[in-house]
Amino acid sequence: MQIQCRKINVTGVVQGVGFRPFVYHIATENGLCGYVKNTGNDVEIVAEGEIEDIEHFLHELQSKRPPLASVEQVRTKVSRVSGFSDFSILDSEQDESVRSIIPPDTAICSDCLRDMYDSKDRHFHYPFTSCTNCGPRYSMVSSLPFDRKNTSMAEFPLCLECSLEYKLPSDRRFHAQATCCPNCGPVLSLTNESGDVLASGHDSIVKCGELIDDGSIVAVKGYGGFHLVCDATSDRAVLKLRGSLNRPAQPFAVMAKDVENASSFACIDAEESSMLQSRQRPIVVLDKNDEFSLSDHTAPGLHNIGVMLPYSGTHHLLLDHTDSDVYVMTSANLPGLPMLIDNEEALLYLDKIADYFLFHNYAIGNRTDDSVIRLVNGKKAFIRRSRGFVPEKIELPFPIDPAIGVGPELNTTVTLARDNSAYVSQYIGNTRHFETAQYHRKVVSNLERLTKITPQRWGCDMHPDFNTTHFAQEQGGNNTVFVQHHYAHIVSLMVDNLLPADSSIIGIALDGAGYGEGGAIWGGEILEATYSGYERVAHLMEQPMPGGDMAAIYPSRMVLGMLHDVLEAEELRELPLWFKHGEPERDIVLQQLENGVNIVRTSSFARVLDSAAALLGVCHYRSYQGEPAMKLESVARKGVHDLDLPVVCKRGVLDTTSLLYGLYERLDSHEVCDLAYSIEDALAVGVAELAVSAAKKRNIDVIGLSGGVAYNEHIICRICEVVKDSGFEFLTHNRISCGDGGVSLGQAVVAGYSAFT
């Protein structure tokens, strides 16, 4: 019998996932002695025993890992035999040199649900029931290692029974940092808008359900912040919420009790069902079905709706105690501001919005909005990558120096990267607002602490007035790297698809706006890109925006700008458009165009879609980001005829005026849905043809698409069809957002890679 000792170091998502008890089990089953302990993110194992038993243990370390664990690397070396008499779990140690990975928040598991519904179990009707396989993680951690003392649960000392479970290696709650019960853990309380407590514990759930049934709006505190909740089947309740929030049309996400219930109002295929029921529990954007039974005011003017299933004990219990099986479940934040997480703040800011408040009394360490996913062209597309996915590692195709991407201005995230790993933060929001800019700084600080990455280079947007740009310059100084917005989109696409360092791609970047070369406003770009630079090889025609940003809010202004050179003044005055201040405003816009006053030019793809929406009477006012284009897509889905609008490309420029004029000529002779379908189709074909032409000239085999327009099913499918029919490989995103939430990754990689070039 030959006894050997191996020192084993395991890296990956191995904290807060029951990894040490798992190691203990398989070590004892294989007859090994030694120990296991946490050292930062690195789990250190010393195993003594027969060589064959150690080898079998190493195999099981990979093949039988806990469901939430992710093993990246296992390093072993032979060590001196110490003569351990048994195998034990040691206390954690902190190794400041090791990067740490905290698992994301995870939906309550079936075992904990069973405990929660078992009247003989001490967790009966206790909404904070969790174990090593489920519950909050990232949202409750303050520092590392991931021990209870470094989480929001530190203020809740374990009772005797919970302490026994916590210390027993054979129990699924062994070292589960969120372990608690009604005797020692957080509690729920229901208050009115003045903060007066009306009920506590399970009684607060029962009372809250009654209030929702009566049409009340309740602010409910969850894993990563507050939601505003009401009955999704009640027009009165939904309209009341819209009026309180001053959001006349922005779609609300809903929470359905289960997949069967969601199927009563939405179309769900197998993959969508799998996403809905996954442990991440994202919001999944689903098509409404013909029997749509919810209030039409949940997602007005759209063919689809965001749906999620309950992921916390509180959600499950609430849905058990109301008549409704579907709630509106929308983030409780004022427009552009971070999600609320503090009880006192919620009472202060939501007192005119929520009628009642369902609080819990543990502190949220990290805000995490719900993730949003949509299937586009048969692939998952992240609209927002946050709860359930952050801070999972994004693998890079090559190593880079320590770097950060601070994001753009809207829909911002930040990314920290080093070597072959990148960590994209949760959704942050609109950093124009002071509160969001401060939150942005906090996220950077937290992510630096958790990943132990100290950036040497700071990637940021080229726009000189962004708060994120100022922040990068302040922190990075001479190590600040300015990255063009659409180039960052394409680099993030290349990274998402693990293209190697020497790759070239023709990248299509389509969105609302980005700061281009010389201060121009870009948004419909064809770039030849590598990791070290880009060339703008084609683009949409640059169109006038009368009044600048006002034309993005009131797209009738864009229509006048795009058709000004092809229609007579009287024809422009007769266009069926809407202006906030009536016809005098139309006259002012026409004067601006005639005299070239207060005009900004843009190649934005989204502004062309906005113009089509206004010209067709689909949407005249943008009350939320992307509204005109989203409503145009919904109308176009009913279209069946391609009306062969003129696709004119000259010297690498797609003539969008000809397209809109073609739409204008057909207004009186065709259905609106067919016109909407045709303009989307023609734009997609024109962009694809520009990209194919550029790829042929430059002998590049790969064409890819990024930017917010890439959520449009019709447009992306049509571009894909043209590109593939021309013999080229076509790439889209799959691990990160194709919208501005992915820009920080591109910035970080460009900044970190620039050190090698």
Per residue in 576-597, pLDDT (tens digit) is 999 999 999 999 999 999 999 9
Determine the Cα–Cα distance for residues 525 and 140; give it in Å rounded to an integer.
Answer: 41
Residue 280 corresponds to which amino acid?
Q
Q: What is the pLDDT of residue 98?
A: 47
Mean pLDDT on 700-705: 98
Q: How confident is the model at residue 99 (pLDDT cuts 50, 70, 90)?
A: low
Residue 757 has pLDDT above 60, yes or no: no
212-246 pLDDT, tens digit each: 999 999 999 999 999 999 999 999 999 999 999 99
Residue 92 has pLDDT above 80, yes or no: no
Determine the Cα–Cα distance for residues 667 and 311; give it in Å rounded to an integer.
Answer: 47
Distance from CA of residue 706 to its chain's centroid? 15
Determine the Cα–Cα distance for residues 610 and 626; give it in Å rounded to an integer.
Answer: 8
Residue 102 has pLDDT above 80, yes or no: no
Residue 343 has pLDDT above 90, yes or no: yes
Q: Count CB atoms within 10 A of the CB of residue 572.
A: 18
262-321 pLDDT, tens digit each: 999 999 999 999 999 999 999 999 999 999 999 999 999 999 999 999 999 999 999 999
9-47 pLDDT, tens digit each: 998 888 778 888 889 989 999 999 999 988 766 789 999
Residue with tokens 């396989």: 133
Residue 96 has pLDDT above 80, yes or no: no
Mark whether 20 is an active-site residue: yes
The domain made up of 188-360 is a member of CATH 3.50.50.60: no
What does residue 7 show for φ and ψ, rounded to 5 degrees?
A: -100, 125
Mean pLDDT on 715-719: 97
Instruction: Name the architecture of domain 3-89.
Output: 2-Layer Sandwich (3.30)
Determine the Cα–Cα distance for residues 745 and 447; give it in Å rounded to an integer.
Answer: 14
Residues comprising the chain, all counted? 757
Mean pLDDT on 695-700: 98
Residue 140 has pLDDT above 70, yes or no: yes
Q: Count CB atoms within 10 A of the CB of residue 433.
A: 17
Q: How confident is the model at residue 641 (pLDDT cuts 50, 70, 90)?
A: confident
Q: How confident is the model at residue 97 (pLDDT cuts 50, 70, 90)?
A: very low
Determine the Cα–Cα distance for residues 102 and 105; give it in Å rounded to an integer.
Answer: 9
Determine the Cα–Cα distance for residues 288 and 632; give it in Å rounded to an integer.
Answer: 16
Q: Count CB atoms within 10 A of the CB of residue 264.
A: 14
Mean per-residue pLDDT of the chain: 94
**Which among 230, 245, 207, 387 has a CA at the least distance from the CA of 295?**
230
Q: What is the pLDDT of residue 483?
A: 98
Domain 3-89 and domain 398-497+735-757, same fold? Reply is no
Determine the Cα–Cα distance for residues 611 and 660; give it in Å rounded to an integer.
Answer: 8
Of 38, 133, 333, 430, which residue is the catalytic one?
Answer: 38
Strands 226-231 and 218-221: what pairing?
antiparallel
Mean pLDDT on 194-198: 96
Q: What is the pLDDT of residue 578?
A: 96
- The beta-strand segments (E) located in 147-225 are 188-192, 197-200, 218-221
103-123 pLDDT, tens digit each: 899 999 999 999 999 999 999
Of 20, 385, 586, 607, which residue is the catalytic one?
Answer: 20
Q: How confident is the model at residue 90 (pLDDT cuts 50, 70, 90)?
A: confident
**Which among 405, 429, 382 has a CA at the least distance from the CA of 745?**
405
Q: What is the pLDDT of residue 447?
A: 93
Determine the Cα–Cα distance for residues 108 and 106; give it in Å rounded to an integer.
Answer: 6
User: Which residues share a beta bridge with 423?
Assistant: 393, 416
**Which among 539, 666, 644, 658 has a CA at the least distance from the CA of 601?**
539
The domain made up of 398-497+735-757 is a member of CATH 3.30.930.10: no
- Cβ neighbours of residue 397 closer than 8 Å, sequence gap 6 or more: 420, 494, 495, 498, 499, 500, 501
Residue with tokens 């000792």: 5
Structural element, H or E, at residue 442: helix 434-451
**Domain boundaries along the sequence of the chain:** 3-89, 188-360, 398-497+735-757, 539-731
Q: What is the pLDDT of residue 94?
A: 59
Q: What is the pLDDT of residue 40?
A: 64
User: Which residues share a beta bridge with 231?
Assistant: 327
- Cβ neighbours of residue 334 closer than 8 Å, sequence gap 6 or more: 349
Residue 144 has pLDDT above 90, yes or no: no
Cβ 249 vs Cβ 628: under 8 Å: no
471-518 pLDDT, tens digit each: 999 999 999 999 999 999 999 999 999 999 999 999 999 999 999 998
- Cβ neighbours of residue 376 closer than 8 Å, sequence gap 6 or more: 710, 711, 712, 713, 716, 732
State the alpha helices, DSSP H only, in 246-279: 259-262, 270-277
The three-state DSSP-derived secondary structure of 297-360 is CCCCCCCEEEEECCCCHHHHHHHHCCCCCEEEEEECCCCCCCCCCCHHHHHHHCCCCCCEEEEE
Residue 555 has pLDDT above 50, yes or no: yes
Q: What is the pLDDT of residue 756?
A: 59
Residue 735 has pLDDT above 70, yes or no: yes
Q: What is the pLDDT of residue 248?
A: 93
Tell me, what DSSP letter sits at residue 172?
T
Determine the Cα–Cα distance for residues 141 and 396; give it in Å rounded to an integer.
Answer: 26
Q: Evaluate if pTM is beyond 0.85.
A: yes
What does residue 463 show for φ and ψ, rounded to 5 degrees?
A: -65, 120
566-575 pLDDT, tens digit each: 999 999 999 9
- Cβ neighbours of residue 447 closer than 8 Å, sequence gap 6 or more: 391, 414, 416, 423, 425, 453
Cβ 703 vs Cβ 729: under 8 Å: yes
Cβ 538 vs Cβ 653: under 8 Å: yes
Q: What is the pLDDT of residue 536?
A: 98
Taking each helix axis from N to C end, the angle separating 313-320 and 202-213, rounded to the nearest 10 degrees, works out to: 50
CATH topology of domain 539-731: Nucleotidyltransferase; domain 5 (3.30.420)
Structural element, H or E, at residue 620: none
Residues of the chain with pLDDT > 70, as a percent, come to 98
What are 135's two structure tokens?
A: 């519950």
